[in-house]
């Protein structure tokens, strides 16, 4: 059973190309280490991310994101579970 978590947040300052690429590379490396998959979107200073994987791993990553100084406190939707990855 996979755990899914979706959240939205706002960047403290607008991000440009190189900053977004760096964030994406860091996120991919971290997620791979924790066997997390999902999706990260950025538009007009706002993020939306879907994280999916083992519940403890997803919640650890979300906790780290919640303390990131680069964005406002993320607002999450109620988590859900699924049999397979999206």
**pLDDT tens digit string along 13-70?**
888 889 999 988 999 999 999 999 999 999 999 999 999 999 999 999 999 888 887 7
More confident residue, 86 or 49: 49
Residue 86 has pLDDT above 90, yes or no: no
What is the model's pLDDT at position 73? 73
pTM: 0.81
What is the model's pLDDT at position 74? 79
What residues have CB less than 8 Å from 69, skipping those under 6 apart? 12
Task: Give the domains, in start order, of the chain with CATH numbers.
Answer: 2-82 (3.30.70.100)
Name the helix (H) or strand (E) containing 50.
strand 46-53
Q: In this structure, what token pair is assigned to residue 24?
A: 């994406």
């Amino acid at each position: 059973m996979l755990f899914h978590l979706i959240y939205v947040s706002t960047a403290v300052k607008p991000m440009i190309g190189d900053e977004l690429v760096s964030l994406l590379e860091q996120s991919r490396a971290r997620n791979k280490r924790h066997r997390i998959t999902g999706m990260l979107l950025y538009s007009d200073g706002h993020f939306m991310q879907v994280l999916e994987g083992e519940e403890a791993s997803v919640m650890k990553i979300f906790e780290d994101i919640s303390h990131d100084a680069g964005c406002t406190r993320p607002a999450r939707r109620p988590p859900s579970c699924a049999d397979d990855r999206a």
